[in-house]
Amino acid sequence: MVTEETKSKKQRNGECIINRLPVDLIERIFLGLPVSTLLTCVGVCKHWHNIIRDPQFVALHLQCAPSYALLFSLRGLVSGEPYPSDAVLIDEAWSSSRYAVPVIGPDDFLFGSCNGLLGLYTKTSMIKIANLATGECLHLQKPAKNVKGDHFCFYSFGFHPVTKEYKITHFLGDCINGRRPHNKDRFNIIQVYTLGDEKWKDFRTPKALSLISVRNSGVVNVDGKMYWLTEDMSANCQHSVMSFDLLEESFAMTQLPAAYEDHDYYGPRKFWIRDIDGKICIVTAQTSHYDARTVLGELQIWTLDNTAEQQRWSRKYNIKNPPNYILGPHFVHRDRILTQLGSDDVCSYELLSENFKIDLSKMVKLLDFSPHGQNLQSHNCVKSLVRLEVFSKAGIVRRPKQWDGWELKKWEAWEQNLAKKETMWSRLYEDEHKKTASTQSLHARLNHLLPQILDDVMRQQICMKNNQICAAFADQQPRSLRRLNWVEQKRDEETLFARVEKFIDITMAATQAIESVHDMIGRVTQDLDKRTSTSKAGIASQNHSGDGDGDTDLGL
């Protein structure tokens, strides 16, 4: 006989059998699992916890993690009403996510994405570094208080591959503590913070540089250096690339490529700095005379090749009939270019060759971002196991609630609107359930009545109408408590209104069918009365039977 002790021993051996495998094999299995699964596995046993939390495993998993395109929309106004900041993830199959990112609050601004960590700027005295997958948030004091004209695009976030440090940088404008600026729209200081340090460090630039250029063209971090465009009146195109080495703490300037031709019938040429496949790229095109944001002519993309001997620009793409707007800081994902047509549709287009013309009919629509308009950014991101607890010395680490930031008064109307929609869904489900139950009951009574009708034609007609009475509503799936992102909220609203219309149509059709059946049964009863009127006893009996089957059984 097997004792309880033997059973317990066998059970323990069965639970730990995977731990008998070589550690490297277990690691290979774990490397193929998503972060959400690994976070569950951490609590299985101490052995698994040690493997998954090991920094080398975290780095390896990061290298294997699939890349997402993160489309971030900035908060703004639509018809005078505020709408919140939001984000949608596009996976490797180019499918969009459904739910809002919990770490992004309604008033947050995204200024960088690196190794699964997001840099978020707020209007308060804090900035946030958040892990997209785990939900951890690190809250840090801003480097300077009461900076007039401070903006989220003056911040940048990156990772240094040599020191393995995460760096936040800030372009400090000249106007501080409400003082009148002595050099408007310029900066002389870059402030740098390394996650885990106790304070920010200031570095003075070689000369006063343009904040407007930073705001218009963007900032990217590649290989431990921060790059941005600055005005350079001595250059042919009046712009140059500035870089700041986060390890050497030194500045450098690089001239832009000059092999492009301007056409008089287009407007001024504009430049953007972007990151494509881990390389610094300059994107340039002429813009409209009437709207400097609208791209015209040819779009050229140049990459900067850094070698030990020299830096050299090479033209990567020359695109005719380019998209209207250039997203950033990453607008190329894998083998496709992301673009925004007009102010609504976000589309992708395959990068075919070095020289090609975009065929708008072959654009693949990903989603509709209206009414967010042009307040849209595109970032590369991954889901990682990088922990923020190790940097908690100078900040507060916590896991945010899904509703963080929504308690402000300005979002009351937004929340009330969402609550109204959820109430509509609940009432619709309830009405559908009641209608289904009532029509099924009526359907059963009709089926009981049909054998008593002698007229074959009439019985067939009632049977056909009977089939129309049964309600055909969609399955009632439970509603998730998670907040939908902006795109899914619109789809959900469209689904709700379409389902309400379908409910009304089905109800009206069922009502008409019931009325038709009622009329048919009335005619059957009248005909039955006429045929049995020759016999008084039969008349009394048939009238009693007809009244019961026609009206009492159906309850019509």
Report pLDDT digits (tens) over 117-158: 999 998 777 889 999 999 999 988 888 776 677 888 899 999
First to last CA, the chain: 68
How many Å apart are CA 61 and CA 33, to the nearest integer?
Answer: 9
Under 8 Å between Cβ of 323 and 337? yes
**Which regions in the chain score pLDDT beneath 50?**
1-2, 7, 10, 13-14, 536, 539, 542-556
Rounded Cα gap, residues 310 and 307, in angstroms: 5
Task: Give 551's DSSP letter.
Answer: I
Confidence at residue 419, expressed as pLDDT on a 0 to 100 scale: 92
Q: Compute the distance between CA of residue 218 and CA of residue 254 in angstroms, rounded to an integer.
A: 16
DSSP structure class, residue 394: G
- Packing angle between helix 486-531 and helix 456-469, nearest 10 degrees? 160
Q: What is the pLDDT of residue 176?
A: 53
Q: Which pLDDT does position 546 carry in this prediction?
A: 46
A 10 A CB-CB count for 32 gives: 9
Output the pLDDT for position 167. 93
pLDDT of 179 reads 52
CATH 1.20.1280, the chain: domain bounds? 17-61
Would you mind telling me the total number of residues written for the chain in this entry? 556
pLDDT of amino acid 173: 79
CATH class of 66-175+183-399: mainly beta
DSSP for 344-369, written as a single string: TEEEEEE--SSEEE--GGG-EEEEE-
Distance CA 224, CA 473 (A): 57
Quote the tokens at residue 543. 């009238």
Nearest Cα to 48, choosing from 23, 65, 70?
A: 23
Number of H helices and number of E strands within the chain? 10, 27
268 three-class SS? coil
Query: What are 409-446's pLDDT values in tens digits?
Result: 889 888 899 999 999 999 999 998 888 888 777 777 77
* Fold category of 17-61 in CATH: Monooxygenase (1.20.1280)
Dist. CA 367–CA 346, nearest whole Å: 6
Contacts of 56 (CB under 8 A, 6+ apart): none
pLDDT at residue 15, rounded to an integer: 56
**364 class by beta-carbon count within 10 Å (0-12 exposed, 13-18 middle, 19+ buried):** exposed
The DSSP 8-state label assigned to residue 550 in this structure reads I
SS3 label, residue 157:
strand
Residues of the chain with CATH 2.120.10.80: 66-175+183-399
Q: Phi and psi for 321 in degrees, rounded to 5?
A: 55, 55
